[in-house]
C-alpha cells in the first residue's frame, strides 16, 4: 500500500481512524490497531475498500478482563489506556474498568506488573 490510508478513509468515507498502535517497516508487512468511527454504512464501505486494497482486517478477538483479586490499584494500566476505559473513581480511588469504552487495544496487558489484566477470547 503506497497511499495515506487514514486520509482516504476520512475524505472518501467520512470515517475517522485513530491509530492506537502500529508496527510497520518500509516495504514490509506490519500490523496496526486502529479505532474506526463513523456512520455504520460508511464504516462498512470503508471495510470493503480496505480489503480491496489488500489489507487484512481482524476485529478484536475478545474482551479485556481485570482480576480484582490480583489488582493493587497501582494505576499503570490507566496511564496507557487510550480510551480512558481504565481509570480511578473517587472517593475510594480504586481502579475502575468501563468495559463499553474499552477498545481492546491490549496496551494494558503488558503494563500490569501483577498480570491482573488479560484478554478473554470470544468462544468460537
- pLDDT per position as a tens digit, 30-84: 888 888 889 999 999 999 999 998 888 888 788 999 999 999 999 999 999 999 9
Residue 90 or 8, more confident: 8
Residue 3 or 87, more confident: 87
Whole-number pLDDT of residue 4: 87
Cα gap 14→17, rounded to integer Å: 10
Residue 18 pLDDT > 90, yes or no?
A: no
Pick the CATH number of 62-121 from 3.40.50.300, 3.30.70.20, 3.40.720.10, 3.40.50.720: 3.30.70.20
Cα gap 66→121, rounded to integer Å: 14
Q: Where in the chain is the domain with CATH 3.30.70.20?
A: 62-121
Residue 102 pLDDT > 70, yes or no?
A: yes
Amino acid at each position: 500500500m503506497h497511499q495515506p490510508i487514514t486520509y482516504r478513509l476520512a475524505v472518501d468515507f467520512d470515517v475517522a481512524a485513530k491509530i492506537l498502535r502500529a508496527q510497520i517497516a518500509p516495504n514490509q508487512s506490519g500490523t496496526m490497531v486502529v479505532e474506526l468511527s463513523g456512520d455504520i454504512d460508511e464504516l462498512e464501505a470503508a471495510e470493503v475498500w480496505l480489503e480491496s486494497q489488500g489489507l487484512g482486517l481482524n476485529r478484536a478477538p475478545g474482551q479485556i478482563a481485570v482480576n480484582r483479586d490480583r489488582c493493587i490499584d497501582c494505576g499503570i494500566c490507566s496511564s496507557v489506556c487510550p480510551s480512558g476505559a481504565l481509570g480511578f473513581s473517587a472517593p475510594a480511588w480504586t481502579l475502575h474498568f468501563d468495559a463499553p469504552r474499552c477498545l481492546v487495544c491490549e496496551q494494558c496487558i503488558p503494563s500490569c506488573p501483577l498480570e491482573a489484566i488479560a484478554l478473554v477470547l470470544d468462544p468460537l
